[in-house]
Structure 1
Amino acid sequence: MSYLDTTVDVYKAAALTPDVGLCCTTSPIWQLPGLSMPKIMQEMNYGCGTTVHPRDLVNSPSILYVGVGGGMELLQFSYFSRKKSGVIGVDVVDEMLAASKQNFVQAEQENDWFDQDFVELRKGDALDLPVENASIDVAAQNCLFNIFKAEELKKALEEMYRVLKPHGRLVMSDPICNQEMPAHLQEDEKLRALCLSGSIPMHEYIKMLTDVGFGTVEVRAKRPYRILSPNHYAVDQNIIIESLEVCAIKDPMPADGPCVFTGKAAIYYGQEDYLDDHKGHVLLQNQPQAVCDKTANALAELGRDDIHITPSTYFYDGGGCC
């Protein structure tokens, strides 16, 4: 049995009997006007963060969500795209698709605005999505891709890139680990299926996205998630796992490399009203400007004593200059 078969078995069981402790989401459930979230969906929230960000969801976009879980994020996405098949949910586990479909019956009873036709469920694999090229505005996955090993992860990201329209957005939430994950844990099929031992360092995670072709990456949140301690696992020291939320945008790749926003800002406090670096960046006097890491490095290399570059916060909320 492969680790992917083990994953299917784990989530088949979680579909048949909701497992509240399977994942530990680190983001609050969106409270939106007129949205009632069925209890069963909350119990089947098998994610480690959130992929629902209203700023991505204007103008009733076409949305793809891979790994449907109990349907919670599908319902949240449909709140912003109230049209037939406005949200497509793809899953390889028949039992999870059936459970999600049944949960939408309850959601329709609790929400007078919701129609089950807003969500189209499709049987399919993240490595071979049943979705047309360049047909999706926003694609998302929550705590799924970290299960994959490198080769499968690359294929899953390529598939997401393929189905997105130009400037479309891939929003993801996954566990990461900046320590070296012991090999015996990486090869533990159950731990990988439980979204623990497949965690990779943040810089590798971001590089996987940019290698596929995403020209802009936003790190929107980084929070504590789990600890693999010697008390419970065969490790010599605590292995710290964090939850990462990112948005990768299908922008053209800049000639000088991708724009990766990690929450840095530049502040110019010189004598002039503004600073123009003649590379497309204008900093107003004493006004913080969000910048990508590449631009932050370029400004620092100017060697000026009137520019302050803040450290990464890993909570980028838009408005950046690149």
Structure 2
Amino acid sequence: MSSIPTSESATRERYANAAAEAEQALCCPVDYDPQYLKVIPDEVIEKDYGCGDPSKYVEPGDTVLDLGSGTGKICFIASQVVGENGKVIGVDMTDDMLEVARRNAPIIGERIGFSNVEFRKGRIQDLALNLELLDQQLAGKPVGDVNRWMELDKITADLKKEKPLVESESVDVVVSNCVLNLVEADLKSQMFEELFRVLKVGGRAVISDIVSDEEIPQHLADDPYLWSGCISGAYTEEGFLKAFSDAGFYGIEILKRDAEPWQTVEGIEFRSVTIRAWKGKEGDCLERNQAVLYKGPFSQVSDDDGHTMQRGQSYAVCDKTYNIYKKAPYKEHFEFIDPIKPIAMEDAQPFDCSRDVTRHPRETKGMEYSATTVASDCCGTDGCC
């Protein structure tokens, strides 16, 4: 009697077959930068599947983690972008995909003049467990009874603690290309927690995936073939953004959204999106008399913490929020007002971030400020404007 396939087993089997022979149904048309494809063997390109190009958003020197790296195409593109001082880690659970990626890594390293890519075996919903180390434990003494099963439980916990597949706060950017929706529904929140864990403070996630425009009915969700084909396990568009927010990310933005659906099933549209989200809003809220002014174009905006700001008004913010706004993706939308007399961090008092209040100019200039100055030379050497 054959067992009923789970979504994970169906995914593993389908992608193992796709590592041996290309399957067009597993990918959307994507325009990759041809300059980075020149050094990548055809085998990798033909048997790697995705729906976007998150490698466009990595930077020189980054440490990059690619979830569900497959035969390694995104890793090999990213390795060229990050350069010799950067590092790329691919994680995949399918031995056949890892074999193709590892076999081609030295070839690409020789062609570009450096090797900065490595591939690790793991499940993206558990980035602490190194499956190859677990395989070694099982090879010597397989699970044959309940005592061994309980012993293995402790071995697994020890491996995750002492030799994690990916260490906490070790990665600048996590990328993924049409993989997150392959994870079983009850493990998706854990997957996002793991994604968040491995990122450095100030790091970012750039994820390309398939989303739906409606909730997926149960009979589609129960279809292993549709699941492994990036259909049944897709988030709704709203649900995908909410998953990042629930995990603690901020500055969540849609970088790319395909206007035309990739597939339509029973009237439900499935399309590719690329999302970027940032880690780093943790920490204390401290008062340093800083202010920000939203420049527009909207009459008002609200951030991920519920702070609402009217265009053109100066708002009091804590030091943490002030510094977050000075970075992407916010910085171009704000003017930043520093106090004339800075407050040292050790002297800063707690700031109540639960309220939205404007900042009176005297709070940043100082209540005793009484300077009188001549007109500034704002128009250059030609005189007044």
Q: TM-score, normalised by structure 2?
A: 0.63
CA distance in 1, matches of 2:202, 2:300: 19
Give the conservation status (yes or no) of the 8 Å contact 1:84–1:119.
Answer: no
Match of 1:131 in 2: 166
- Structure 2: which 5+ runs fail to align? 128-164, 285-289, 313-327, 335-385
1:165 aligns with 2:168: no
Give the conservation status (yes or no) of the 8 Å contact 1:220–1:317.
Answer: no
Give the SS at the match of 2:55: coil
Superposed displacement of residue 33, structure 1: 7.1
Match of 2:96 in 1: 95
Match of 1:280 in 2: 292
Give the conservation status (yes or no) of the 8 Å contact 1:20–1:43.
Answer: no
Amino acid of the structure 1 residue aligned with 2:271: E
Give the SS at the match of 1:12: helix
Amino acid of the structure 2 residue aligned with 1:251: G
CA distance in 2, matches of 1:170, 1:291: 27
Q: Can you list the C-alpha shifts for 1:166-216, whole angstroms capped at 9, x where unaligned?
A: 011111011111212221111111101110121221111111111111122
Match of 1:321 in 2: 333
CA distance in 2, matches of 1:246, 1:155: 19
Correspondence for 1:226 among 220, 244, 262: 262
1:241 aligns with 2:270: yes
CA distance in 2, matches of 1:102, 1:291: 53
Q: Kindly report which structure 2 residues correspond to 1:137-152, keeping only aligned pairs within 5 A, or say none.
A: 137-152=172-187
Superposed displacement of residue 39, structure 1: 2.2
Superposed displacement of residue 34, structure 1: 9.1
Greater Rg, structure 1 or structure 2? 2
CA distance in 2, matches of 1:5, 1:34: 31
Q: How many corresponding residue pairs? A: 272
Amino acid of the structure 2 residue aligned with 1:121: F
Amino acid of the structure 1 residue aligned with 2:16: K
The sequence identity of aligned pairs, in percent, is 27
1:50 aligns with 2:53: yes
CA distance in 1, matches of 2:87, 2:186: 31
Amino acid of the structure 1 residue aligned with 2:189: K
Match of 1:275 in 2: none
CA distance in 1, matches of 2:73, 2:299: 32
Amino acid of the structure 2 residue aligned with 1:171: V
Match of 1:311 in 2: none
1:251 aligns with 2:254: no
Give the conservation status (yes or no) of the 8 Å contact 2:192–2:244.
Answer: yes
Superposed displacement of residue 22, structure 1: 2.1
1:9 aligns with 2:21: no
Q: Can you list the C-alpha shifts for 1:260-279, whole angstroms capped at 9, x where unaligned?
A: xxxxxxxxxxxxxxxxxx97
CA distance in 2, matches of 1:96, 1:160: 21
Q: CA RMSD in A?
A: 3.2
CA distance in 1, matches of 2:21, 2:48: 13
Superposed displacement of residue 78, structure 1: 0.5
Give the conservation status (yes or no) of the 8 Å contact 1:215–1:253.
Answer: no
Cα pair distance change 1:49/1:225, threshold 3 Å: farther
Amino acid of the structure 2 residue aligned with 1:68: S
More helix by percentage:
2
Superposed displacement of residue 44, structure 1: 2.0
Match of 2:69 in 1: 68
Superposed displacement of residue 64, structure 1: 0.7
Match of 1:264 in 2: none
Give the conservation status (yes or no) of the 8 Å contact 1:66–1:140.
Answer: yes
CA distance in 2, matches of 1:53, 1:294: 26
Superposed displacement of residue 50, structure 1: 1.1
Match of 1:118 in 2: 116
- Structure 1: which 5+ runs fail to align? 230-234, 256-277, 303-315
Greater RCO structure (CA 8 Å; 6+ sep): 1
Amino acid of the structure 2 residue aligned with 1:172: I
Q: TM-score, normalised by structure 1?
A: 0.74
Give the conservation status (yes or no) of the 8 Å contact 1:42–1:72.
Answer: yes
Superposed displacement of residue 321, structure 1: 2.8
CA distance in 1, matches of 2:185, 2:283: 25
Match of 1:23 in 2: 27
